[in-house]
């Protein structure tokens, strides 16, 4: 394989780490520039397999990578520095340092929602920056041509007309295409079918004040044998069902056509689920596997104890589980300091126990996400112990080191050490781990995604999607980064909404700022097809009810199921649990919380407009307190007004739209009063 991946779009002043894919650590790789803009003096080292490429002039570069089997070409389109995206939501990953992208605010001073080194995310306030546009590509097969059309959207606050947003395309260097046959006219690209092999990928960006997050269309040849079922050739050279093994072109008895794939779209199943995070060493209850479970028996492993609660989660409406790390570690209960990337932690059970748990979840229609930790190892990892203070160790170059001989890390965390991604052996080791766990997972929740190079995530994505196109990749990036939807991740932690909900819950911000937070997704440049995970707490944060109180917690629960995105509950959240990582107090659950969540999750299923297809918009309203907010969700001509009240006294809200029925869908009670609709915490009304 070894090709460094898709063509790149970037600007002068940016840099990108480039590396051979699926590397052989013992092989020799060399980089050089085959062609560059006349004014460029860029000259990457030719004796390093992994390079940081920093173009110094606008134009198109062609880089070459000599690999064992052949020489590969990579096209890089570079825009002037003035078109470099800046402001909230922009940036790259994989830079070592004491703080890193996750530890500092990208919110300009004075904006609402600042978060300086809090780990809570950037606040709402918009994507001021350089007015970054957005782009979505559409593909079709028309007669004997493959057609890509671009839909550019100017930045919501830029004032730029859509007609003034340009579009640029690049055809993937890896594909068999006669590029002389490619015709581009404005926002449309056409390729004769006769000019392509089994697959062609077309990448594009919108260009206005800045360039957009790229999007991609893939055309894959489908072979229909003797009028039978179609077989789409997959990116790894395999196919989606049983097919001719020779891979030759279609014969006279076969008809060849193309299917259109949007590789940057999230899996359809992932858009309409309720996620649930399980802190594995506390979820089952006191003492984990040693305690009596819900069935009244003592489970044989922690996984068996968690499995014993699956029926409860199923009844609640959960259909996707995220387990905190399950690999061997340094005995810190959170599990993120890993000592063996290929073995299940002894205190949790065996690999067989884990596989049985996953199978039991699948039997109930639940997906399971594996918590993937790639930025670092524990300092107790045998490779680090061998390397520490020993420059002659075979593993010394596996880690990033400071001048004082200590390993690079983030936030001065003392029990971990950052991997050195410039070392091919590290990449090989981690890719092998990815292959191992992708076999028994439906997706990865990717820890500290901002701390791993972008190009490694892009390689990982293509690797797992070749095996299973519906595999989900969810990034933890604080604050979120729009570019992480460029062939890396399907779904993103909505850190901005998280932080805003905390501010509103504490009474430090008006509830209307929640609407700003949702709209910020577009303002920072996320494309229309990006998906977001909504949350109010997790294992790293103080419980919302502890920080903000019961009333705000009830309203925040309503926000998770009525705002656009995928709701995530942290284990015990629905029980009113107050301890962040304590064993769940199943016998002391607060029934008012459980009933509230149970009803809200049912409501999301009952009203499709609250789901992924429902449109979100503002609505004119008046409220008796700034701790209340209202907004609309609409689908197929059905409109609903959602009202959230984070304050203790009921809020009186008036709406200009005619309320079809003042009966609240959440409580089932009529809430009309002489002054308007009276809402305790969350209410949903049908409107015209």
Of 490, 475, 523, give the one whose Cα is nearest residue 154.
523
Q: Check residue 108 and report its DSSP letter.
A: P
Of 223, 274, 268, give the one whose Cα is nearest residue 250.
223
Contact 658, 688 (CB under 8 A): yes
Whose tokens are 């650590």? That residue is 25
Is residue 406 part of the annotated active site? The answer reads no
Instruction: Identify the helix (H) or strand (E) that includes residue 603.
Output: helix 591-606
Q: What tokens does 214 get?
A: 């790229």
Q: How many Cβ atoms from other residues are within 10 Å of residue 253's Cβ?
A: 9
The C-alpha torsion from 398 through 399 and 403 to 407, rounded to 10°, is: -150
d(CA 556, CA 535): 9
CA 30 remoteness from chain centre: 32
d(CA 490, CA 473): 5
Coil/strand/helix, residue 442: coil
Q: In which region does residue 76 sit, left (phi positive, over 0), alpha (psi from -120 to 50) or beta (all else)?
A: beta
Whose tokens are 């020993």? That residue is 390
Kindly write down the DSSP assignment for every residue of 419-476, as one continuous string.
B-TTSHHHHHHHHHHHHHHHTT-SEEEEETGGGS-HHHHHHHHHHHHHH-TT-EEEE-
Q: What tokens does 368 get?
A: 């399971």
57-62 LR contacts (CB < 8 Å, sep 24+): 57/12, 58/11, 58/12, 60/35, 61/33, 61/35, 61/36, 61/37, 62/33, 62/34, 62/35, 62/36
Q: Kindly give the pairing relationship between strand 491-493 and strand 531-534.
A: parallel
Q: Kindly give the pairing relationship between strand 320-323 and strand 275-278.
A: parallel
Coil/strand/helix, residue 106: coil
Is residue 447 part of the annotated active site? The answer reads yes
Of 574, 583, 577, give the one whose Cα is nearest residue 302.
583
Q: What tokens does 428 get?
A: 């090989």
Instruction: Identify the helix (H) or strand (E) that includes residue 136.
Output: strand 134-142
Contact 165, 206 (CB under 8 A): yes
Q: What tokens does 236 get?
A: 């790894």
Of 1, 2, 72, give the one whose Cα is nearest residue 34.
72
Half-sphere exposure of 245 (CA within 13 A, CB side): 0
Q: Kindly give the pairing relationship between strand 367-373 and strand 338-344.
A: unpaired
Question: Across the strands, what pairs with 196?
Answer: 177
The residue annotated as part of the active site, out of 447, 454, 490, 513, is 447
Contact 275, 566 (CB under 8 A): yes
Terminus-to-terminus CA distance in the chain, angstroms?
56
Instruction: Identify the helix (H) or strand (E) that includes residue 316.
Output: helix 310-316
Contact 290, 281 (CB under 8 A): no
Question: Across the strands, what pairs with 447?
Answer: 373
Whose tokens are 């990582």? That residue is 581
Question: Across the strands, what pairs with 277?
Answer: 322, 570
The residue annotated as part of the active site, out of 277, 459, 475, 476, is 476
Q: Kindly give the pairing relationship between strand 472-475 and strand 491-493.
A: parallel
Residue 621 sits at the vertex; the CA angle it makes with 620 and 627, to the nearest 5 degrees, is 125
Of 276, 148, 277, give the one whose Cα is nearest residue 203.
148
Catalytic residue numbers, as ranges: 447, 476
């Amino acid at each position: 394989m070894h090709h460094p991946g898709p063509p790149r779009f970037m600007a002068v002043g940016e840099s990108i780490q480039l590396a051979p894919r699926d590397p052989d650590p013992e092989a020799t790789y060399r980089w050089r520039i085959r062609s560059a803009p006349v004014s460029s003096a860029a000259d990457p080292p030719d004796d390093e397999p992994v390079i940081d490429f920093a173009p110094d002039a606008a134009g198109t570069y062609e880089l070459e990578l000599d690999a064992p089997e052949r020489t590969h070409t990579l096209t890089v389109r570079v825009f002037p520095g003035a078109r470099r995206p800046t402001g909230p939501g922009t940036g790259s990953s994989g830079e070592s340092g004491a703080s890193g992208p996750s530890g500092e605010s990208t919110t300009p001073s004075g904006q609402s929602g600042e978060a300086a080194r809090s780990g809570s995310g950037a606040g709402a306030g918009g994507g001021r920056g350089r007015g970054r546009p957005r782009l979505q590509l559409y593909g079709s097969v028309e007669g004997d041509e493959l057609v890509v059309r671009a839909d550019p959207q100017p930045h919501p606050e830029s004032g730029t007309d859509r007609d003034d947003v340009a579009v640029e395309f690049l055809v993937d260097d890896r594909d068999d295409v006669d590029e002389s046959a490619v015709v581009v006219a404005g926002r449309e690209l056409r390729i004769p079918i006769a000019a392509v092999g089994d697959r062609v990928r077309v990448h594009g960006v919108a260009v206005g004040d800045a360039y957009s997050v790229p999007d991609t269309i893939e055309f894959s040849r489908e072979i229909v044998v003797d009028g039978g079922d179609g077989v789409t050739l997959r990116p790894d050279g395999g196919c989606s069902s049983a097919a001719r093994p020779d891979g030759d072109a279609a014969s006279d008895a076969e008809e060849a056509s193309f299917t259109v794939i949007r590789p940057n779209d999230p899996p359809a199943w992932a858009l309409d689920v309720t996620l649930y995070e399980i802190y594995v060493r506390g979820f089952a209850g006191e003492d984990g596997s040693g305690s009596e479970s819900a069935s009244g028996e003592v489970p044989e492993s922690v996984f068996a104890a968690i499995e014993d609660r699956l029926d409860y989660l199923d009844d609640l409406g959960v259909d996707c589980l995220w387990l905190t790390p399950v690999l061997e570690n340094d005995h810190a209960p959170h599990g993120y300091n890993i000592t063996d990337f290929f073995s299940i932690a002894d205190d949790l059970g065996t690999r067989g126990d884990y596989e049985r748990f996953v199978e039991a979840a699948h039997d109930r229609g639940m997906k399971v996400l594996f918590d993937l930790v790639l930025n670092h190892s524990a300092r107790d990892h045998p490779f680090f112990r061998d390397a520490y203070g020993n420059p002659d160790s075979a593993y010394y170059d596996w880690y990033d080191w400071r001048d004082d001989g200590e390993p690079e890390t983030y936030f001065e965390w003392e029990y971990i050490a950052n991997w050195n991604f410039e070392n091919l052996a590290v990449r090989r080791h981690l890719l092998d781990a990815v292959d191992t766990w992708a076999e028994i997972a439906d997706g990865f929740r990717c820890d500290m995604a901002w701390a791993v190079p972008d190009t490694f995530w892009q390689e990982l994505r293509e690797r797992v999607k070749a095996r299973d196109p519906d595999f989900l990749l969810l990034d933890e990036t604080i604050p979120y980064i729009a570019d992480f939807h460029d062939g890396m991740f399907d779904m993103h932690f909505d850190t901005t909404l998280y932080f805003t909900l905390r501010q509103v819950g504490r009474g430090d911000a008006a509830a209307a700022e929640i609407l700003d937070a949702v709209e910020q997704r577009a303002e920072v440049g996320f494309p229309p097809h990006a998906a977001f995970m909504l949350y109010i707490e997790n294992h790293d944060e103080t419980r919302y009810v502890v920080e903000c109180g019961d009333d705000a917690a009830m309203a925040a629960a309503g926000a998770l199921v009525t705002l656009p995105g995928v709701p995530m509950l942290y284990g015990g959240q629905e029980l009113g649990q107050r301890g962040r990582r304590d064993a769940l107090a199943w016998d002391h659950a607060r029934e008012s919380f459980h009933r509230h969540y149970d009803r809200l999750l049912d409501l999301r299923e009952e009203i499709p407009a609250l789901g992924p297809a429902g449109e979100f918009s503002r609505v004119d309203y008046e409220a008796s307190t700034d701790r209340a907010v209202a907004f609309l969700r609409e689908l197929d001509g059905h409109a609903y007004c959602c009202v959230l009240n984070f304050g203790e006294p009921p809020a009186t809200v008036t709406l200009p739209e005619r309320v079809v029925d003042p009966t609240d869908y959440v409580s089932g009670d009529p809430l009309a009063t002489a002054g308007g609709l009276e809402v305790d915490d969350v209410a949903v009304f049908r409107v015209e």
